A and B are shown apart, each in its own frame.
Chain A
Amino acid sequence: MLQILDVDGHVVNEALLPQLSHDELRAIMRKMVFTRIWDQRAIKLTRQGRLGFYAPVAGQEASMIGSEAATSKEDFLLPSYRDVPQAVWHGWPMYQAFLYSRGHVHGGQMPEGVNVLMPQIIIGAQIVQAAGVALAFKLKKEKRVAFTYIGDGGTSQGDFYEGINFAGAYQAPAVFIIQNNQFAISVPVHLQTAAETLAQKAAAAGIPSERVDGMDVLAVYSATKRAVERARAGEGPSLIESMTFRFGPHTMSGDDPTRYRSKELEESWQRRDPLVRFRAYLEGQSLWSQADEEAVIEEAKTAVSEALAKADAQPKMTVPELIDVMFEQLPDDLRAQRAEFVK
């Protein structure tokens, strides 16, 4: 398993240390802290009924942010329901992510130049679609990459195998990232598959794969960077298995992790907290301070409040608005149905 920083933030793999400037390193830390705060706020807002659907991300920041940071803005992201941070860091305005959570049709309307699809609910659908997006880049001779995420549970879906196999068959520029957070709602990985690792599933598709410490942001960054560069260089797709953990419940819709996870297990993963580890590394080089941390916390709180206010200001969606996005030209029978909703 690829690791660059140990749990105390010491470098264990000097040779693989990615070439990142001080600013870039600090930017990664900033995004991780920001995301942790935003996650805490989102959980509160969901409990207050001010957001709709929300899947907590704490614990997975290194996995999410380290991988997204290794891509470029022209690369196309196909996220799943938990991958909202990557989507936002890739350009999805946060207030639209809140509208998406509430089920407002404007949530998924990506601004021009933002190469992100609205998060996927159907597990595995994003994998086959990523193969298609990647093939399109190849056919159009664009040096762009499709990247997508799936959970450990999701690797059981037929779509997962079909997607990685297609990408392999076409040597399409795709990067598939498995976020192995150990549980699919309540089901642990060992009940999901008899395979020793999820990374090894790439072997059958004939594509390279790598297993990384998903609590180590530099390891995730470095593995993703190599996969992205391979794809951009026309060398085909890769699969990354990022070993991580979600600290919270599966979603905010009533999941109770104490029914399927022991306290000891939770604590053993909390000791590997990606924020603590990376902070220690940066502090060791005088690249991060308590003041930096506090500034980001304030920044995140303000940004979330502003995004929420903007989402609140969006007029509530209507049924006619919904009918209008069904077709380019409204068929007559739908026009008649629309009329029933106009008072």
Chain B
Amino acid sequence: MAQMTMIQAITSALDNELARDPSVLLFGEDVGQSGGVFRATDGLQKKYGDQRVFDTPLAESGIAGLATGLALQGFRPIAEIQFFGFVFEAMDEIAGQAARMRFRSGGRYTSPIVYRAPFGGGVKTPEMHADSLEGLLLQTPGLKVVIPSNPYDAKGLLISAIRDNDPVFFLEHMKLYRSMRAEVPEEAYTLPLGKAAVVRPGKDLTVVAYGAMVHTALKAADQWSKQKGVEAEIIDLRTISPIDIETIIESVKKTNRAVVLQEAQRTAGAAAEIVAQINEHALYHLEGPVKRITAPDTVYPYAQIEEEWLPSTERVLTGFEAALAL
């Protein structure tokens, strides 16, 4: 098996699906000749031609709308939004149109679209490039939202997203693109959407995380285990819409305590939703309130104070302490 970075795993997934299904199209700003600003689509235009892999004019609403129209005619578009921070330009087409297509046509038309976008902090990008805006997408009925945390998951989840008959937003954390390698098969495989993974078993505390925060959680848990002999169980959500509440509840029933970790600002995000669901489904199994560990409710501070602003291992440990204190 090949060792791949997350970005290579993503390229590999796109390659597999372009080869397998002629209705798959790939487009966005700079994805063609230049192979994408992160090289995620490198070489694909050469391989599949500029009818299937192409550069678009610089307009996100246009890109997303094009995807909706192509999907109406039987194509399976993969539309890249160059950075997730630019999604506001395309929100009507994604949330207001594509995700409502089944409803608007009584199920006659679907939107088998994958929107891909890099996002995430800690890599010192300019303003509006790193923001974790996934909370906006969670409020959109009819849209699935996937955030992988490692190369193997990225490939399997992306292939599932491309084969899914409903729109899927696939978010790629920039810090994870090249920060690790893992065994990833060259051939296509799928991982189910909406299914979380227990990435570290433990009995004392349930930690729910996704994306880059999975790695922060793992670091904190290992430190805690060594220092205090306390074992945190870590759940990597992988898909934040729909949320795999079963896996979470099963874990909480065992540990009786939980913290939820997200990189995004605190209010009304994925973590808020998970806390609500834990309360709904497992309140009587809890021995203390569920803690959220998040960024504060400010705009994303690009470059200079990212590290202080993002949940750090230190802040995560403080959160663990609070969750464990009776």
Contact = CB atoms under 8 A, between A and B. Distances in A.
Interface of A: 52-53, 81, 102-105, 121-124, 153-154, 156-159, 184-187, 191-193, 253-255, 259-260, 316-319, 322-323, 326, 333-334, 337-338, 340-341
Contacts of B59: 156-158
Nearest to A321: B305
Nearest to A257: B34
Contacts of A156: 57-59, 62
Interface residues of B, number: 37
A53 B296 contact: no
A103 B303 contact: yes
A326 B57 contact: no
Given A158-B62, A253-B125, A337-B296, A193 B57 contact: yes
A160 to B, nearest CB: 9
A334 B296 contact: yes
Contact of A102 (B88, B299, B304): B304
B33 A260 contact: yes
Given A191-B57, A326-B299, A319 B29 contact: no
A187 B124 CA distance: 25
B303 A52 contact: yes
A316 B29 CA distance: 35
B301 A317 contact: yes
13 contacts: A52-B304, A81-B126, A102-B303, A102-B304, A103-B306, A157-B58, A159-B89, A185-B34, A186-B34, A260-B34, A316-B305, A322-B305, A337-B266
A185 B56 CA distance: 12
A121 B30 CA distance: 17
Given A337-B266, A337-B296, A158 B61 contact: yes
Contacts of A105: 301
Contacts of B199: none
Given A103-B305, A316-B305, A333-B297, A192 B58 contact: yes
B167 interface: no
B129 to A, nearest CB: 8
A254 B61 CA distance: 26
B58 A323 contact: no
